[in-house]
Structure 1
């Protein structure tokens, strides 16, 4: 299906979830409120998709799986950016995140970056359910399918320093995810989160340069 980590998947209801939820009574209410789950960084085997469920606070997070046949819709973070959906979201327009999104969009668009919000911001934009608060950070992924130079990464970090909101920016490369700030330091190897756990990688764009994690 071409699913990627951080994609938001709409499902029908809690019966689509596979897992042991005996100690997570909040799940039923959370899925009823917003029937969306997020694709986790784990292998997709036999059409079984690893997903995460989020509740109303940080302590309410749970791993599960679903079948591909249970997916009603797939919303990628970059689709939220392409449509600039924060401009039509009344609640987000009233938060500090709105101005941050506008600035980040302008900067990354100037570099031709394919990017999108994840976390609470991405969840609200996709689901329409208010999850952004006055203390929310802005989590971002940049789809870096082809090589990104350390200099460009540093330039982006420097321009984004004008943003006052706290941000977590991840580069999604063919090998996995790494922090933009860490890559921008220019140190090698760099720690990359892969489907098989964290690995030290000399170059996140070449298959033959993975060291032991």
Structure 2
């Protein structure tokens, strides 16, 4: 089952459609060797809502793909499953990856993973992340989670002097929401 923030690859570029005209940068830059980001929206008859990412921060577009064209999926959780892979990543010296390594040393009560430019870079080895990049995380909370539990998580993160801003998206069975910015430089 695909969830928001999963990165997916498709085998048929014609399966990718947008509600309006496809932006010119998409036709120039995007190809099936690049992932799409599953986004939160209504599925349209087996079509998966996705985000298309360009090389510039301003290049983002919403689209849909046919479910049967998905050939690969990388979850935010899988990107942090192997600490050795993170340590061997070409991005290990960048602050967002340093924070991931620090956070991995603490057992958390939730399944969590990395999204945003850091997740995209780790999944593709494309250098879209830089020294000033934020770290975007997703917490998957399949059971009811109290505001107190989330506040405790935020407090523990705030106790550490993180080298980059860290934003957290909380996913529950019924919705997703952005937590307040957890920490700043």
- Cα RMSD between the aligned structures? 2.1
Per mean C-alpha deviation after superposition, the further-off stretch among 66-75 and 126-135 is 126-135
In structure 2, distance between residues paired with 1:31 and 1:173: 31
1:46 equivalent to 2:45? Answer yes
1:14 equivalent to 2:13? Answer yes
1:33 to partner: Cα distance: 8.3
TM-score, normalised via structure 1 length: 0.76
Per mean C-alpha deviation after superposition, the further-off stretch among 4-13 and 27-36 is 27-36
2:30 aligns to what SS in structure 1? helix
TM-score, normalised via structure 2 length: 0.86
Q: 1:102–1:57: structure 2 CA closer, same or farther, 3 Å change rule?
A: same
Q: 1:164–1:41: structure 2 CA closer, same or farther, 3 Å change rule?
A: same
1:138 equivalent to 2:126? Answer no
In structure 2, distance between residues paired with 1:178 and 1:72: 28
For these two proteins, the number of residue pairs brought into alignment is: 178
What are structure 2's unaligned runs of at least 5 residues?
A: none
1:152 to partner: Cα distance: 2.4
Question: What are the superposed Cα offsets for residues 23-79 of structure 1, whole Å, 9 maximum, x if unpaired?
Answer: 622113432385210111112232111111011112100011110111111111111
Question: After TM superposition, which residue ranges in structure 1, 4 or more long, deviate above 4 angstroms?
Answer: 20-23
Residue in structure 2 matched with residue 120 of structure 1 by the alignment = 117
In structure 2, distance between residues paired with 1:135 and 1:166: 9
Are the equivalent residues in 2 in contact too, given 1:37–1:52 (CA < 8 A)?
A: yes
In structure 1, distance between residues paired with 2:29 and 2:35: 9
Q: 1:140–1:149: structure 2 CA closer, same or farther, 3 Å change rule?
A: same
What are structure 1's unaligned runs of at least 5 residues?
A: 183-213
